[in-house]
Chains A and B, each alone.
Chain A
Amino acid sequence: MRKLPILLLAALPLWAQEIRLPPELNRLSAKAVETVDVTLEGPLLQMAAKFLSNEKPDEAQVKALISGLKSIQVKSFEFATPGEYPESDVEAIRSQLRAPAWQRIVGVVSKREGENAEVYTKMVNDKIAGLVILAAEPRELTIVNIVGTIDLSQLSALGGRFGVPRVELPRQKKDD
């Protein structure tokens, strides 16, 4: 019986690692000009992986990357005018992505004015087991939640596929 609190404490970090998209986000659909939700679950990804070519380098890279994934969820909103989504909605997600489970590996990499992106990774046994991308622009908000084992060096291959935006990752840089 004494072991129960210890077991619960041990389980807490695991529970804390799962991110939940706040329900308030769904309300943004009413304001958004367009809302896109993409949910690709493990079996579908594994099925897609089987049909990517090993011969073509770009497809082989994607194949290697998605073979370890359990799911990809992309939620994207486009607004007519800037500032239509509250920062609190982004903060509600950001607040779940805390150390030690989560690490922010990219703060803001902006190639054009006002385009900000944050990339967070979840570490389990020294391996990346999850990745969240928050891309917030004045008229667009995109949240990507990838669950599964990820090789960061191959992540760029995923950009532009499966609804995932391209994100430039710094080499061996941890920005937090």
Chain B
Amino acid sequence: MRARIAVGFAALALAVAAAPAGDRDFDAVVKGIESHYGVKRTSVPMFGMVKLIVKVARPSGVRQLDMALFENVPRDAPDADDLDLVIERAVPERWRPMVRVRSRDGESSYIYYREDGRNIRLMVVSFDGDEGSAVELSVPPDKLAEWLRDPADLNGRLGSPDRAHRDHSKEY
């Protein structure tokens, strides 16, 4: 009985320790963007409820979700155009780059990933003109395997839903 209680406490301690680690990474990304561009994340109405729904209903297999939105991002400001560097600095080292899409009309998306026990965590940072978003989500590996069929489309699913991608299955 004591062993079970000990294991239970250990599991609880691990879960508690793991959750803030994920949050800290997300916070680091948000703070990196905020400090570089001198903006503050805007509040998302009802997001607490959205997080709860995600936790319970797991839509598309998503188990955990964090999101920050940015408005009036001064992308034309001096030293603000090197978004690659900003994101590279903001995303903690243990995250691996997976997809980067940049377009001349001001849309940019970055997807990083890291393994998290049985799940995969994705960090998606997108900018479109003077608006930006950072999303961290945890998905089961089978869902990611399904999404990986077209990694550039993954950007469309998670980053910029409105962007039209060219056909990557082109035949030569």
- A110–B166 Cα distance when bound, in Å, is 19
Chain A residues with CB below 8 A from B100, complex form: 35-37
- A30–B103 Cα distance when bound, in Å, is 9
Contact B142 A159 (CB under 8 A): no
Contact B170 A162 (CB under 8 A): no
Q: Does A111 contact B (CB under 8 A)?
A: yes
Chain B residues with CB below 8 A from A76, complex form: 168
Chain B residues with CB below 8 A from A115, complex form: 172
Q: Does B162 contact A (CB under 8 A)?
A: no
Contact B146 A161 (CB under 8 A): no
Contact A36 B99 (CB under 8 A): yes
- A159–B141 Cα distance when bound, in Å, is 22
Q: Does A22 contact B (CB under 8 A)?
A: no
CB nearest to B108 among chain A residues: A35
- A29–B84 Cα distance when bound, in Å, is 11
Question: Residues of A within 8 Å of B, CB-based: how many?
Answer: 40
CB within 8 Å of B: which A23-78 residues: 29-30, 32-41, 43-44, 47-52, 74, 76, 78
CB nearest to A164 among chain B residues: B168
**Cβ contacts B155-172/A at 8 Å (1 or 0 each):** 000000000001011111
Q: Does A117 contact B (CB under 8 A)?
A: yes
CB distance from B87 to the nearest CB of A (A): 12
CB nearest to B102 among chain A residues: A35
Contact A165 B150 (CB under 8 A): no
Contact A135 B168 (CB under 8 A): no
Contact A44 B98 (CB under 8 A): yes
Chain B residues with CB below 8 A from A38, complex form: 98-99, 151-152
Q: Does A166 contact B (CB under 8 A)?
A: yes
Chain A residues with CB below 8 A from B99, complex form: 36-39
CB nearest to A26 among chain B residues: B84
- A29–B166 Cα distance when bound, in Å, is 16
Q: Does A130 contact B (CB under 8 A)?
A: no
Contact A34 B102 (CB under 8 A): yes
- A101–B8 Cα distance when bound, in Å, is 55
Contact A163 B168 (CB under 8 A): yes
- Can you report 27 residue pairs joining A to B where beta carbons are below 8 Å apart? A33-B104, A33-B105, A36-B100, A38-B98, A38-B99, A38-B151, A44-B113, A44-B148, A49-B145, A50-B145, A51-B142, A51-B146, A78-B166, A109-B172, A111-B171, A111-B172, A159-B169, A159-B171, A161-B169, A162-B148, A162-B151, A163-B151, A163-B168, A166-B171, A166-B172, A168-B171, A168-B172
4 other A-B residue contacts (CB within 8 Å) besides A33-B104, A163-B152: A35-B103, A80-B104, A111-B171, A161-B150
Residue ranges of B at the interface with A (Cβ–Cβ < 8 Å)? 96-105, 113, 115, 120, 141-142, 144-146, 148-152, 166, 168-172
Which 6 A-B pairs rank lowest in CB-CB distance, beginning with the nearest? A160-B169, A51-B145, A117-B172, A166-B171, A48-B145, A37-B100
